[in-house]
Chains A and B, each alone.
Chain A
Amino acid sequence: MSIEYLGLDSINGPLVVLEGVQDAAYDEIVEFSVQRTEQKLGRIIEVYEDKAIIQVFEDTTNMSLENTHTKLTGHSMELPLAPEMLGRTFDGIGRPIDGLGELNYISKRDINGDPLNPVRREFPRNFIQTGLSAIDALTTLIRGQKLPIFSGNGLPHDKLAAQIVRQANLGKENNEDFGIVFAAMGVKHDVADFFRRTFEESGVIDHVTMFLNLADDPVVERLITPKVALTAAEFLAYDLGKHILVILTDMTSYCEALREVSSSKQEIPSRKGYPGYLYSDLASMYERAGIVDGKPGSVTQIPILTMPNDDITHPIPDLTGYITEGQIVLDRTLAGKSVYPPINILPSLSRLMKGGIGEKYTREDHQAVADQLFASYSKVNDARSLASVIGEDELSDTDKRYLSFGEKMENTFIGQEIDENRTIIETLDLAWDMLHILPREELNRIDTKLLDKYFDEDR
């Protein structure tokens, strides 16, 4: 293991080639020492006989064909693990940076993880109340779910994620052990600070592990950060039995780093220059959410991504949506109307919602009310565009009612204060208030029994 090779055979962007190596393994981690002063890490991404192609996690500036010593480590990328990781801050590849010293590591694990066996998963069914009506009523968050926020530059996704962290019943009420793993990929310092302040102010900072690869940190290192974070999350969840909420932000920066490495390898791109394996690569992280049958903990993921050009068909949101269990989509038009949180409910979805709502978990009318709100809100846009053509006054009475339903929905149901924490019952009652704006015969998603119970004709 301890052989050191002096010099490199080529350097090209984040990739270097080393010839004449012995015993190099695919996916092995190597250590570089540049000028005997600067240490860097890399990973073998292709190997041919005695030639290794290595992806360097840090910047390759300063590296020359002569000044670099390379050492094989004999293993793939591993993260050392300790229970006291909660409350600590690490860099993007898992080294402590909070000045609180080394940890008492009790184990270490390959950061790539192994796939969970579907026969050992437990299907997630526990409702997490976030206190946000648009989410609780329409895109319900379930413990063990992976539910991303699709956002755009300048939209309040950080505020929203912070509000979820503050308000969600992660286990605080039930005295269940919980924790938050926060991974930043290429975000600005102020964003990381904002999250840290939020965790401090809501008194959970001792339960938070942060992994920070900030905007000025090496780009390729970003490829490691979410994997390190998820390895820590799995350890905390399945070894220590905690309910872990993982926030990954910004997945777009992660994907861009992946594209950069791919293009320097001269791989054949699929769409927009992204490699054909972007789907599998993202899946290998998102699929690490879940619950293991017979174990107490869980891993819930809220990845955040900014859609380039607000385009939901861009490969990053597109492939994410194909893997995650729904998505919460933020919308610039709503934000422009000062609606906070500006959640566009129509493209938003929670695929696990059906198992975690209803009489047993929330209230009997939940699914029907949600279906009705989606259906009715989708008609608001038709009414609005018709109004813009023929004028509001010319609209039929029903269409006029749809207009005011839409206003109310956006301003008082989706929209709420940044510290407003509604119970699910309050949310559902509020929904019925709005539905009373519409004539009863328009409510065709709700069956007669529920309408008789909750819809008061005389109101």
Chain B
Amino acid sequence: MKQLGTIYGINGPIVYVKGRTLFQMSEKVFVGKEKLIGEVISLDNDRTTIQVYEETSGMKPGEPVYSTGSPVSVMLGPGILNNIFDGIERPLKKIAEISGEYIHRGADVKLLDTEKKWPVHVMVEVGQEVIGGTIIAEVPETKTILHKSMIPPNIEGRVVEVVEDGEYNITEPIVKVKQLDESIVEIKLAQEWPIRNPRPTRSRFESSIPLVTGQRVVDSLFPIAKGGTAAIPGGFGTGKTMMQHQIAKYSDADIIIYIGCGERGNEMTEVLEDFSELIDPKSGNSLMERTSLIANTSNMPVAAREASIYTGTTLAEYYRDMGYDVAIMADSTSRWAEALRELSGRLEEMPAEEGFPAYLASRIATFYERAGLMQNFNDTEGSVSIIGAVSPQGGDFSEPVTQNTKRFVRCFWGLDKALAHERHYPAVNWLDSYSEYVGDLAAWYRDNVSPDFVDNRRQIVEILHQESSLMDVVKLIGSDVLPDDQKLTIEIGRVIRLGFLQQNAFHPEDTSVPLLKQEKMMEIILYLRKRCKSLISHGMPMSLLKREDIFTKIIAIKYDVPNDKLEMFDQYKKDIDKFYTKIMDKNA
């Protein structure tokens, strides 16, 4: 660490060093007497600009700025899971041990625990050729996840020394590799990686497997693929965070990276409390064992907010490289974009739309590009799926962050204020939302759920669209004047909305639903429609049909049929038949 300059000016999180300096672009620096962490963001002939990741209050011109020679990086190794970090991967539990309930700046903490001894099983032998990505050791990081320590990218050579299986901390060498240039490098359980550089992979390919979330409107209507991207735009209170929590809890990803970017402190506390108690059905352990949280809450420094997104993504890529399916929840990407705007404004850059910098679109694109299903250098396959919440100003989707995000994601789950107001949750608007993965995933659904799944889904979507156009008419003239087949469409639309799309996150049975139950629910609704259609074609009026309680019963299936008692659907089918014969007999 070498002093390369002194502070000339301070404007919030932005600090200037005068003159032509030897700093490098994106270099991590220590700023001021308290050695606050910062990053070089521009270099000119006459000045260097630094963004500081901590509160700069009290800092003075003339204080030193130190160089580290390396870009802002995170530490990758065991200890990431079942943990919570700030935007630049400083462990919040350790910070609390040092400074109590408040986060004071300048806390000097190691990113990952360097003392803890991990049980290590070495996976390579002396003489073995290794490349970046080769798995050298396995470490049971949590009860759920087996950590695979890898040769860092850019290193290649032959193993010349390995340790015995045993207990090691992350600073001890595990293997030594003689590189092609004859130099020897020590490989440890942990490695550093600059947060703004995507970790390399061999190749990317199209995913044909869904990320199953247990949420009906997602899985059945607008599915996301493993390695896919989705945006959840919505005004405040429409359910973005709840939806992210639900997916983090119930999706079939191996690992969840949850980035709380500029949102509420209590929400992070809630995730910590809930996820520690909730049991992951797949592993039988607590959900935290597969989860890592990055928290830059709205009252934490804004420069670290900008970094938090990259920190989280880098952690996700690291586990992908081990062959895991990782899902990132980013709540909210708008706060990240606003952090960009705030920093850009302080730099007096030329603004484009609504004060956002002109590079907003390219930054959003680069972020979502880091998602994907990849073939790794160690021949495993892993994926990073990104689900980003968007918080449009005034709830208006025409604003720049929503619009630019839409260009780069393939799923759009638009949340609707009116639906949220009537407490229709999840408030995903079925008319505006879409998934470009439906076609890619069709074969998987056919083979793994039901041959009819894709067709049933199509019918459900069609009914919803018809219902919506009919409702426009009803609003003007009432429903009485409609012909009976249209009344039926409205009634079935209602059954789909209340019985299928609405899903109560607080109900033990309804909170997450297996695909097979989703399929059976669609089937039974369509069966009900078929029988009703037939009744109507026999001249039975809708008013007669509606007098029966079968509609209410079908709507209540979500609560009444437990997720592991799908055989109960047979009885419902019989009930529909009974309803059919009853009406026919009585009125024929």
* Residues of B with C-beta under 8 A to A120: 96, 100-101
* B474-512 vs A, Cβ < 8 Å mask (1 yes, 0 no): 111111100000000000000000100000001000000
Given contacts A48-B16, A49-B61, contact A447 B265 (CB under 8 A): no
Among B57, B93, B342, B556, point to the contact of A276 (Cβ < 8 A).
B342
Among B8, B298, B479, point to the contact of A283 (Cβ < 8 A).
B298
* Residues of B with C-beta under 8 A to A352: 266
A454 within 8 A of B: no
Among A27, A45, A268, A347, point to the contact of B58 (Cβ < 8 A).
A27
Q: Are B298 and A315 in contact (CB under 8 A)?
A: no
Among A119, A124, A389, A399, point to the contact of B96 (Cβ < 8 A).
A119
Q: Are B10 and A116 in contact (CB under 8 A)?
A: no
Size of the chain A interface, CB-CB below 8 angstroms = 83
Q: Are A121 and B266 in contact (CB under 8 A)?
A: yes
Instruction: Name the segment of B361-369, B393-401, B514-522 touching the other chain.
Output: B393-401
A161 within 8 A of B: no
* A121-152 vs B, Cβ < 8 Å mask (1 yes, 0 no): 11110000000000000000000000000000
Q: Which residue of A lies closest to B553 (CB)?
A: A448
Q: Are A441 and B549 in contact (CB under 8 A)?
A: yes
How far, in angstroms, from A45 to B9 measured CA to CA in the complex?
Answer: 11
Q: Are A441 and B103 in contact (CB under 8 A)?
A: no
* Shortest CB distance A199–B (Å): 28
* Residues of B with C-beta under 8 A to A264: none
Q: Are A287 and B9 in contact (CB under 8 A)?
A: no
How far, in angstroms, from A112 to B302 measured CA to CA in the complex?
Answer: 15
Given contacts A283-B298, A287-B298, contact A26 B60 (CB under 8 A): yes
B376 within 8 A of A: no
Among A113, A326, A396, point to the contact of B478 (Cβ < 8 A).
A396
Q: Are B101 and A323 in contact (CB under 8 A)?
A: no
A279 within 8 A of B: yes
Among B396, B421, B477, point to the contact of A313 (Cβ < 8 A).
B396
* Shortest CB distance A296–B (Å): 13
B236 within 8 A of A: yes
Interface residues of B in 415-453 (CB under 8 A from A): 417-418, 421-424
Q: Which residue of A lies closest to B547 (CB)?
A: A441
Q: Are A117 and B476 in contact (CB under 8 A)?
A: no
A24 within 8 A of B: yes
Size of the chain B interface, CB-CB below 8 angstroms = 80
* Residues of B with C-beta under 8 A to A124: 266
How far, in angstroms, from A49 to B55 measured CA to CA in the complex?
Answer: 19
Among B9, B272, B424, point to the contact of A47 (Cβ < 8 A).
B9
Q: Are B265 and A382 in contact (CB under 8 A)?
A: no
Among B56, B272, B555, point to the contact of A444 (Cβ < 8 A).
B555
B183 within 8 A of A: no
Q: Which residue of B lies closest to A267 (CB)?
A: B345
B351 within 8 A of A: yes
Q: Are A50 and B61 in contact (CB under 8 A)?
A: yes
Q: Which residue of B lies closest to A323 (CB)?
A: B298
Q: Which residue of B lies closest to A76 (CB)?
A: B57
Q: Are B84 and A114 in contact (CB under 8 A)?
A: no
Q: Are B237 and A118 in contact (CB under 8 A)?
A: no
Interface residues of B in 123-138 (CB under 8 A from A): none
Given contacts A118-B272, A118-B297, contact A47 B10 (CB under 8 A): yes
Q: Are A374 and B422 in contact (CB under 8 A)?
A: yes
* B327-365 vs A, Cβ < 8 Å mask (1 yes, 0 no): 000000001001001100100100100110000000000
* Residues of A with C-beta under 8 A to B355: 268-270, 276
B95 within 8 A of A: yes
Q: Are B273 and A367 in contact (CB under 8 A)?
A: no
A99 within 8 A of B: no
Q: Which residue of B lies closest to A113 (CB)?
A: B102
Given contacts A271-B393, A374-B423, A382-B475, contact A276 B345 (CB under 8 A): yes
Among A116, A295, A445, point to the contact of B423 (Cβ < 8 A).
A445
Q: Are B422 and A375 in contact (CB under 8 A)?
A: yes
Q: Which residue of B lies closest to A318 (CB)?
A: B394
A42 within 8 A of B: no
* Shortest CB distance A75–B (Å): 8
How far, in angstroms, from A193 to B104 measured CA to CA in the complex?
Answer: 39
Given contacts A25-B60, A46-B9, A118-B295, contact A386 B265 (CB under 8 A): no
* B314-333 vs A, Cβ < 8 Å mask (1 yes, 0 no): 00000000000000000000
Q: Which residue of A lies closest to B345 (CB)?
A: A268
* A431-459 vs B, Cβ < 8 Å mask (1 yes, 0 no): 00000000001001101100000000000
* Shortest CB distance A311–B (Å): 9
* Residues of A with C-beta under 8 A to B549: 441
A410 within 8 A of B: no
How far, in angstroms, from A47 to B260 measured CA to CA in the complex?
Answer: 32
* Residues of A with C-beta under 8 A to B394: 271, 313-315, 318
Q: Are A346 and B422 in contact (CB under 8 A)?
A: yes
Q: Are A395 and B478 in contact (CB under 8 A)?
A: yes
Interface residues of A in 318-357 (CB under 8 A from B): 318, 321-323, 325-327, 346-347, 349, 351-352, 354
Q: Are A115 and B396 in contact (CB under 8 A)?
A: no
* Shortest CB distance A297–B (Å): 12
Q: Are B265 and A49 in contact (CB under 8 A)?
A: no
* B543-573 vs A, Cβ < 8 Å mask (1 yes, 0 no): 0000001011001100110000000000000
Q: Are B60 and A351 in contact (CB under 8 A)?
A: no
In the assembled complex, 24 residue pairs joining A and B whose CB atoms fall closer than 8 Å, in A order, are: A24-B60, A24-B61, A112-B55, A113-B102, A115-B103, A116-B299, A117-B92, A117-B95, A118-B84, A121-B265, A123-B270, A238-B101, A268-B348, A270-B355, A283-B299, A290-B266, A313-B393, A315-B393, A318-B395, A347-B417, A367-B506, A378-B422, A390-B478, A448-B559
Other CB < 8 Å A-B pairs besides A26-B11, A279-B335, A322-B391, 17 of them? A23-B60, A28-B58, A45-B11, A50-B61, A110-B57, A115-B103, A117-B96, A117-B101, A118-B269, A238-B101, A276-B342, A284-B299, A287-B264, A290-B265, A322-B236, A396-B480, A441-B549
